[in-house]
Amino acid sequence: MSGRRALVTGAASGLGYEVAAALAAQGYDVVLADRNVDGGEAAVRRICAATPGAHAELRPLDLASLDEVRRFASHWDGPLHLLVNNAGILPPLQRARTADGHELALGIALLGHFALTGLLLPALRRSGGARVVGVTSLVYRRARIDFDDLAAARRYEPYEAYRQSKLAALMFALELHARAQAARLPLQSLAAHPGIARTAIGDARRQEAPRRLRDRAEMWAFGAAMRWFSQSAADGARPILHAATSPDARGGELYGPGGFQEWAGAPLRLVPAGVATDADARRRLWTAAGQLTGVHWP
């Protein structure tokens, strides 16, 4: 893969780091994009130490700021062969907003990546056959899109916001592939989820003091799943890497662990479920994302 360029968001740690490290080991020139500059620089050092001769660099990016996204994209030069839209958060108990006023989880997982991918479309097209991989979660099956209150301004539940953001990421990936095919673009868009992978995604939440019984119960369930049913971050990254690099993976497909309840196991092609299969809902979400970001695709 020498000479092929990959961009991985949220790559300072967790799944993003594992994906970036594996891509560098395969010979990709990898750009790690993360708002955590110290962590990102440490990640680059680890990658280069593990793979002598690896080409890896950090470029700071805060997906919660559309101005930052535009700045990042404006400085991209040359082609982009692989984009892994991995970044996401478990939102705080109290509603938080992006720099542009959007609910934080959706603002990163959908709106930030929608803007980034759209602004990098010329670079993706120059590659002559790019892949874009959207990272979702198995919790998308329990989610819905609240089109009347995407910002969760009237009613905010942190775990519902998280599930909605992951469903939105999947819908964006599937709709992007459908539109690329309709426009005859040399681009494949795929999606993947890691099952239950041990990462630092819930660390910030553990520092918060839950005020409701529901918050305590959901945090206990989250911790129990991580403790008893999870796999390592490296194993969780395998479906993402399969979607990103396997010659057997195809655009418009979803990959995840093939084990019990999709919690862990070897990568397997999965059948999307629920609202993710609703083409009208996907188009409606695409339109909303364009309006909220101001990024309108050709």
Q: Pick the residue with more confidence: 51 or 227?
A: 51
Q: Which of 60-69, 89-98, 193-202, 265-274 has the lowest mean pLDDT?
A: 193-202
In the three-class reduction of DSSP (H, G, I as helix; E, B as strand; rest coil), residue 192 is classed as: strand
Q: What angle do CA 226, 219, 262 make, to 5 degrees?
A: 40
The closest alpha carbon to 86, from 145, 166, 197, belongs to 166
- pLDDT at position 295: 96
Give pTM, 2 decimals: 0.92
Q: Is residue 116 pLDDT above 60, yes or no?
A: yes
- pLDDT at position 198: 77
Nearest-angstrom CA–CA distance, 145 and 175: 15
- pLDDT at position 205: 52
Q: Is residue 21 pLDDT above 60, yes or no?
A: yes
15: which residues sit within 8 A by CB, 6+ positions away? 86, 135, 194, 197, 199, 233, 236, 237, 240
Q: Looking at 17, 28, 159, 162, which residue is catalytic?
A: 162
- pLDDT at position 165: 97
Instruction: Estimate to the nearest angstrom the gap between the alpha carbon of 39 and the chain centroid.
Output: 18
**162 assigned to active site:** yes
Q: What is the CATH number of domain 5-293?
A: 3.40.50.720
Q: Residue 261's pLDDT band (boundaries 50, 70, 90)?
A: confident
Q: How many CB atoms lie within 10 A of CB 38?
A: 10
Mean pLDDT of 240-256: 97
Mean pLDDT of 16-24: 98
- The per-residue pLDDT for range 147-176, each reduced to its tens digit, is 999 989 999 998 999 999 999 999 999 999
Q: Residue 140's pLDDT band (boundaries 50, 70, 90)?
A: very high
Q: How many CB atoms lie within 10 A of CB 298?
A: 7
Half-sphere CA count of 210, side-chain side, radius 13 A: 14
Q: Catalogue the E-assigned strands of the chain.
A: 5-9, 29-34, 55-60, 82-85, 130-135, 187-192, 254-257, 267-270
- pLDDT at position 185: 93
Distances (CA, A) of 23 to 47, 130, 180, 213, 236: 10, 15, 24, 42, 15
Q: Pick the residue with more confidence: 80 or 297?
A: 80
Please state the domain extents for the chain.
5-293
